[in-house]
Structure 1
Amino acid sequence: MSRNPPLARVLPFEVVDDAWRLALVPALAAAVVGPFLPPVGLGLAALALGVLWFHRDPERTPPDPERAVVSPADGTVSVVREEGTRLRVGVYMSAADVHVNRAPVAGNVREVRHRPGANRPAFDKESERNEQVAIDFGEYELLVIAGWFARRIHPAVESGDRVERGDRVGHVSFGSRADVVLPADVAREDLLVREGDSVRAGETIIAERE
């Protein structure tokens, strides 16, 4: 993801590249309709600004301890459970949260897989059957799950890429969930979050490795 999208200097915040394309239609419509129907034009302009704000991409600074596992997303922890010998932590991203996803642990991308699926709300228990993108790092896996409205998941990495802890790995549009299946050496007692906790991508420590 570029850190310098076109016209970025006119905004007080950074946005992902796709935001400009998505905001273009309501912005152009506002320019055409505004002179004739000012209230409608203002509404369309507000919609364009809302799209840009939704796709904001703030800088984040990962914590110092190398053993720290950081949150993959902004939002609320909605899932903490065991899957076989591994632990899964899921973060629900509401419409008000930043939707840029970050690597919980440094590693090499082994595979990026897309799986089509349903479109249940991201907070629903059945949402794990939704469309999703899995980023496989070998020792752990990051799953970005689309919500009922969000059908656009944009991974920013591919097989063979090296990422550091807290690096951007992609983003998703308009509400969703990001789950991490933690490395095998992370045990239940190593977790530092529980369901209902608020977290920030790349900064909140969700677990500590030995």
Structure 2
Amino acid sequence: MPRLPRLILPLAALGAAVWYVRGVRRYRDPIRIPPQDAGAVLSPADGLVCFVRRIENGEVRVETLAAPLGARDLTGADVREGWLVGLHVGPLDVHFAYVPVSGTATGVEHLGSRLNAPLGSPGLLLGLPADLLGTRGAVENERHTTTLTAANGDVSVTFVAGAGGLNATTYLRRGDEARAGHKLAFLGEGGLVLLTLPAGATPQVSVGDRVTGAETVLARL
């Protein structure tokens, strides 16, 4: 059999798979039932936990970097003491993001970028966590932050773009009231999701855990 016809079927199958992932699967909108727990901080997205780090004096320390990173530079939120949790939303994950706690949107900030650098490593596609804070993209890429003021402190959610840009549709404006588990955004390209927690929070997840948006309890306040 000639070589060209033998290649047509695999290429057609690959094209169909890409079309399904890009054009159908990433728009799925499963029903989510948030747990009824007043002290719970829900996962803002589906994905893989890549890091859980302390914020001390407004900084986050990363072993692979000579100098600590500023929490405000990463998230746009002014957090002096607390926690930073990072989730990687891959191409096969649900691309909707969710409100982690009930509260008021007291801060909504978008920061653009002239060039978006790659975020992750090939291992992420295999479900292997990577400390994305050590990448250039985690600091320099386009991002959008929503800060929610809840009864037990401020919680912020930051969407960090991958190399293809953020391409996100967000649903909250400053001053809006939000309920935990409701939709916060649609992430057209996935990427990195950062969650900041107040100092009194207790994380409930570890690096390598897979989480479900609006259902997994990431922390307790």
TM-score by length of 1: 0.72
Q: Does 1:115 align with 2:111?
A: yes
- In the alignment, the residues of structure 2 paired with residue 122 and residue 156 of structure 1 have an alpha-carbon distance, to the nearest angstrom, of 25
Mind listing any 5+ residue stretches in structure 1 that lack a counterpart? 1-38
Q: Cα distance, 1:149 vs. partner?
A: 2.2
Please list, as runs of the form range in 1=range in 2, the aligned pairs for 1:163-178 lying within 5 A after superposition. 163-178=178-193
104-113 or 144-153, which moves further after superposition?
144-153
Contact 2:205 2:218 (C-alpha < 8 Å) held by counterparts: yes
1:196 pairs with one of 208, 214, 221 = 208
Contact 2:108 2:174 (C-alpha < 8 Å) held by counterparts: yes
Match of 1:183 in 2: 198
Match of 1:144 in 2: 159
Q: Cα distance, 1:132 vs. partner?
A: 0.4
Contact 1:146 1:172 (C-alpha < 8 Å) held by counterparts: no
Q: Does 1:89 align with 2:85?
A: yes
- In the alignment, the residues of structure 2 paired with residue 127 and residue 167 of structure 1 have an alpha-carbon distance, to the nearest angstrom, of 28
Q: Does 1:72 align with 2:44?
A: yes
SS of residue matched to 2:198: coil
Match of 1:4 in 2: none
SS of residue matched to 2:137: helix
Q: Cα distance, 1:111 vs. partner?
A: 2.3
Match of 1:36 in 2: none
How well do the aligned residues superpose, as a CA RMSD in angstroms?
Answer: 2.3
SS of residue matched to 1:140: strand
Contact 2:155 2:196 (C-alpha < 8 Å) held by counterparts: yes
Contact 2:43 2:98 (C-alpha < 8 Å) held by counterparts: yes
Q: Cα distance, 1:102 vs. partner?
A: 0.7
Contact 1:140 1:183 (C-alpha < 8 Å) held by counterparts: yes
Mind listing any 5+ residue stretches in structure 2 that lack a counterpart? 1-9, 57-80, 121-131
TM-score by length of 2: 0.69
Q: Cα distance, 1:83 vs. partner?
A: 1.5
- Percent identity, aligned pairs only, is 29
| More strand per residue | 2
Give the direction of change, closer, same or farther, for the CA distance of 1:194–1:45 in structure 2 (3 Å limit): closer
Match of 1:127 in 2: 137
- In the alignment, the residues of structure 1 paired with residue 50 and residue 44 of structure 2 have an alpha-carbon distance, to the nearest angstrom, of 13
Counting matched residue pairs gives: 170
Which residue identity does 2:27 align to in structure 1?
H
SS of residue matched to 1:109: strand
